[in-house]
Amino acid sequence: MIKRAFQEKNYISRTPPRRKSVFSNRFFVLLIGGVLAAFLAANGIWLVPSLRRAKEDVTALQRTTAQHARSSIEQLFAFDEMRVESFAHRVGSDITRARQEAEVFLRESADFQGVTFFDAEGTERFRIDRLGREDGDEQGWAREDGIRAGLLGERYISSVFFFSGEPSSVIVKPVYGLDGRVAGVVAAQLSLRPIWDLLAAILQESGLRVFITGRDGRLIGDPDPSIVLRGEQLREHPLVLLLREQTRLSENSRMSVSAQYRDENNTQIFGVGISLPSFGWGVFVEQPAARAFAARNRAVALGGIFSAVVLLLVAVVGRATRSIMQFSGEVEKERGHVSAVLSNLTTGVVEYDRHFRVLMMNPAGERLLNISYRDASARPVAFSWLQDPDTRSVALLFFSDDEKERAEETPFLGPRTVDVKLERPTERYLRVTTVPITGEAGEITNYLKILTDITREKFIARLKTEFINIAAHQLRTPLSAVKWAMGSLLEGDFGKIETRGWETLRQGYDANENMIRLVNDLLDVSRIEEGRFGYAFAEHDIVEFLRGLIADTRLERERKQLQLHVSLPPAKIMLTFDKEKLRLAVANILENAIHYTPARGIITASVSVERDTVEIRVADTGVGIPEQDRKRLFTKFFRASNVVRMQTSGSGLGLFLAKNILINHGGDVTIVSKEGEGTAVSIILPRSRESIPKKEIVYEEFIEQL
């Protein structure tokens, strides 16, 4: 902020003799001229830098917007590359399922339009797109750049091409077989439509038009999709020409240019262009010059008024000074507003660098961590702080007791969230979200930790668990008594009962049994959430174990006339697991398949062995799960809306129990389902005992669903 101070000087004038009147007039003319010259000089001192600074500010704003767009595009491509790489990994795990994996990949990845698979010789084996399926043309593609790069184990992203009028690109990834060699290549066609949505969001937020051109200067991204679909060629656009020329002459791969030019409507435009070297694209931001330099134009007009209206010079300068002071006051007011917001947030905010030195901590952070900013920032946070009760709360944000010491933060892209338990001065739970802060070049400079107090939510969850535990125990005794009484009646201990009465008693007995099973499930849930479910791991044959479980379902399957197709390995597969706990998990999944598959349906059970894991797969042709319900899978008391309408029985605890049991075996369970077509459940178990957690893990539901 520039401050100007004006000093007034008092002059004592004497009345001159008449003969010196001309001299006196000349003196005043010179005085006025000197004042005017001084004022013009002073005007030039602030006006010229202000004009230059205004242009620099506009350039910096547009460059920041372009860099934001470039960073977002690079992140989009990085995410899409990760998805293709994950797909290639799944294909490499079982080449025979390449076509099925491709279909699943297209269903789950809306941005991709098609997938092609090439074998190790570069021969196209099949091609699948969203309009249908085509078999490979048996033509050798090994000499094509992308396929050759993939066969050499390298990543490859093609130049932009237009498919059905829309810009697209192809991401090529190698497929590694189980022997570690390249077994083929997958090529996924990616639509660039998501870039349009990004540019439209930037336009709505900032009012700046951002557009993207490819290597050949053709428009591939714009907030208005119709312009892209028309196939606009911007090779001769002034800003595009300037960026291409500067990029050619400079060794800097991330070149930035700015220029002012006229568009097709003869409107003055100011724009900035930066290169996106990894793709050979250009990112451009433009805005009408009148709007971009509105502040500068006002300053020029003000300077003209200063120069032309001499008699109002001081008043105009005073007004301009007052305007500057008002602007400075607004800036200070806004800065104070931001500071007040941070100071009054109930959410804690901590900024730190990669060496764990705390740079900023708001009052809420000090309160939640029970430490002052001065103490937290005195020196970098170290692993040894965990041993000091006064600094342990801060250290738990960066380290855990069971990990090794780190000298600096490990770089990562997106937000990471963990829950931390503090014990001083009172027990408190924090949800800590870590967000990287990136610089202009996209490099990570610092990090933010957002601290949310979830003690109340944890307390509510604990109360709910305790209530379930107490209610289940209170129900268990009377239900057992009812079971004994009704069982005695059914067995004729109190005399013979007529057929009609016996059937009624039998229905009541079965209903009571269902209630007892529900109570047992509730008690299991309570023990799981308290971390005392108690696992007894031993080595067993998983194949024989599954045969026994499947045999137990025979009566119910025959009653519903269900077909069961079983594919089990002939040899033993020895795994380490808790037989009773795993029986509970797998039985729940088998019972769901039987329960929700209509009569004469088909159930398939199979086991496949990988290098490090064993997969148990149970698929059915049942009612399936609606899409809107799938996000609640594995939560307590979850029952899909379609089965609720069918008035089927069930507690909704089976999948929650199964999920917890399997993650405590070092495995997992996933579900793929489509309403009306059926459900496929995949159970993964590790082959190594070392993969089993050393202590019980609780699969927590989302806090928002409590």
How many whole angstroms from its chain centre is CA 136? 36
Q: At what angle are helices 98-108 and 21-93 packed, to 10 degrees?
A: 150
Question: Rounded to an integer, what distance in angstroms lies between the CA atom of residue 464 and that of residue 161?
Answer: 57
Q: Flag whether 463 is in a domain.
A: yes
Amino acid, single-letter form, for residue 248: R
Check whether residue 675 and residue 653 sit in a common domain: yes
pLDDT in tens, 601-651: 999 999 999 999 999 999 999 989 998 888 888 887 778 877 766 656 667
pLDDT given for residue 608 in this prediction: 94
Write the DSSP string, 101-121.
HHHHHHHH-TTEEEEEEEETT
Q: Flag whether 54 is in a domain.
A: no
Amino acid, single-letter form, for residue 370: N
Contact 118, 141 (CB under 8 A): yes
Q: What percent of the chain has pLDDT over 90?
A: 24
Question: Rounded to an integer, what distance in angstroms lies between the CA atom of residue 197 and that of residue 201?
Answer: 6
Question: Rounded to an integer, what distance in angstroms lies between the CA atom of residue 437 and that of residue 139?
Answer: 48
pLDDT given for residue 594 in this prediction: 92
Check whether residue 446 and residue 498 sit in a common domain: no
What's the rounded mean pLDDT across residues 456-475?
73
Q: Which residue has the higher pLDDT, 53 or 213?
A: 213
Numbers of helices and strands, H then E, in the chain: 19, 24
Write the DSSP string, 458-504.
HHHHHHHHHHHHHHHHHHHHHHHHHHHHHHHHHTTTT----HHHHHH
Q: Burial letters for 117-138: b for 16+ Cβ neighbours within 10 Å, e otherwise?
A: bbbbebbbbbbbbeeeeeeeee
CB-neighbour burial class of residue 546 (10 A; exposed 0-12, middle 13-18, buried 19+) = buried
pLDDT in tens, 660-686: 999 999 999 999 999 989 999 999 999
pLDDT given for residue 252 in this prediction: 62
Check whether residue 550 and residue 652 sit in a common domain: yes
Question: Rounded to an integer, what distance in angstroms lies between the CA atom of residue 579 and that of residue 548?
Answer: 12
Question: Rounded to an integer, what distance in angstroms lies between the CA atom of residue 703 and that of residue 462?
Answer: 12
Q: Last residue of a domain, which of 411, 429, 451?
A: 451
pLDDT at residue 343 tops 70: yes
Name the residue with tokens 């082959």. Answer: 687
- Mean model confidence pLDDT for the chain: 81
pLDDT bracket for residue 29 (50, 70, 90)? low
Check whether residue 225 and residue 157 sit in a common domain: no
Contact 619, 579 (CB under 8 A): no
Q: How many residues does the chain have?
A: 706
pLDDT bracket for residue 39 (50, 70, 90)? low
Q: Which residue has the higher pLDDT, 6 or 660?
A: 660
DSSP bridge partners of 155: none
pLDDT given for residue 704 in this prediction: 41
Question: Rounded to an integer, what distance in angstroms lies between the CA atom of residue 394 and that of residue 451?
Answer: 11
Q: Flag whether 188 is in a domain.
A: yes
Q: Which residue has the higher pLDDT, 213 or 301?
A: 213
pLDDT bracket for residue 521 (50, 70, 90)? confident
Q: Flag whether 595 is in a domain.
A: yes
Question: Rounded to an integer, what distance in angstroms lies between the CA atom of residue 679 and that of residue 656?
Answer: 17
pLDDT bracket for residue 22 (50, 70, 90)? very low
Contact 678, 590 (CB under 8 A): no
Question: Rounded to an integer, what distance in angstroms lies between the CA atom of residue 210 and that of residue 217?
Answer: 15
Contact 148, 142 (CB under 8 A): yes
Please, what is the Cα angle at 20 between 14 and 26, to 5 degrees? 90
Question: Rounded to an integer, what distance in angstroms lies between the CA atom of residue 172 and that of residue 146?
Answer: 6
pLDDT at residue 137 tops 60: no
Q: Which residue has the higher pLDDT, 257 or 12?
A: 257
Question: Rounded to an integer, what distance in angstroms lies between the CA atom of residue 111 and that of residue 485?
Answer: 63
Check whether residue 96 and residue 177 sit in a common domain: yes
pLDDT at residue 397 tops 60: yes
Contact 637, 652 (CB under 8 A): yes
Q: Last residue of a domain, which of 193, 224, 241?
A: 193
pLDDT bracket for residue 377 (50, 70, 90)? confident
Check whether residue 555 and residue 627 sit in a common domain: yes
pLDDT given for residue 17 in this prediction: 42
Name the residue with tokens 């020329």. Answer: 245
Least confident range from 41-55, 71-85, 156-170: namely 41-55
pLDDT bracket for residue 4 (50, 70, 90)? very low
Check whether residue 627 and residue 553 sit in a common domain: yes
pLDDT given for residue 285 in this prediction: 93
Q: Flag whether 25 is in a domain.
A: no
Q: Which residue has the higher pLDDT, 455 or 505?
A: 455
Name the token pair of 189.
């066609």
Q: How far apart are the first and last CA of the chain?
A: 51
Give me the domain span that covers residue 440: 345-451
Write the DSSP string, 343-409.
HH-SSEEEEEETT--EEEE-HHHHHHHT--HHHHTSS---GGGGG-TTTHHHHTTT--TTS---SSP
Which contiguous run of DSSP H or E holds residue 445?
strand 444-453
600 Rama class: left (phi>0) / alpha (psi -120 to 50) / beta: left
Q: Cα–Cα distances in Å, from 138 out to 88, 142, 425, 567?
A: 21, 12, 71, 33
Q: Flag whether 311 is in a domain.
A: no
Check whether residue 419 and residue 471 sit in a common domain: no
Specify the number of domains making up the chain: 5
Check whether residue 576 and residue 695 sit in a common domain: yes
pLDDT given for residue 569 in this prediction: 93
CA nearest neighbour of 617 among 679, 537, 563, 677: 679
Rounded to a whole number of angstroms, the CA Rg of the chain reads 36
Q: Flag whether 487 is in a domain.
A: yes
DSSP bridge partners of 286: 209, 271
What's the rounded mean pLDDT across residues 49-78?
86
Q: Last residue of a domain, which of 451, 473, 488?
A: 451
Check whether residue 551 and residue 686 sit in a common domain: yes
pLDDT in tens, 489-509: 777 777 777 777 777 777 776
pLDDT given for residue 702 in this prediction: 46
Check whether residue 608 and residue 700 sit in a common domain: yes
CA nearest neighbour of 257 among 270, 244, 274, 269: 274
pLDDT given for residue 649 in this prediction: 64
pLDDT at residue 553 tops 80: yes
Check whether residue 397 and residue 462 sit in a common domain: no
Name the token pair of 107.
């269903």
Question: In sequence order, which residues have a C-beta less than 8 Å from that of residue 293 and are 6 or more positions away?
Answer: 54, 55, 58, 270
pLDDT in tens, 236-255: 899 998 888 887 766 666 77
Q: Are strands 124-129 and 132-135 parallel, antiparallel or unpaired?
A: antiparallel
Q: Flag whether 331 is in a domain.
A: no
CATH number at residue 286: 3.30.450.20
Q: Burial letters for 262-300: b for 16+ Cβ neighbours within 10 Å, e otherwise?
A: eeeeeeebbbbbbbbeebebbbbbbbebeebbeebeebe
pLDDT given for residue 313 in this prediction: 59
What's the rounded mean pLDDT across residues 381-408?
81
pLDDT given for residue 46 in this prediction: 64
Q: What percent of the chain has pLDDT over 70?
A: 82
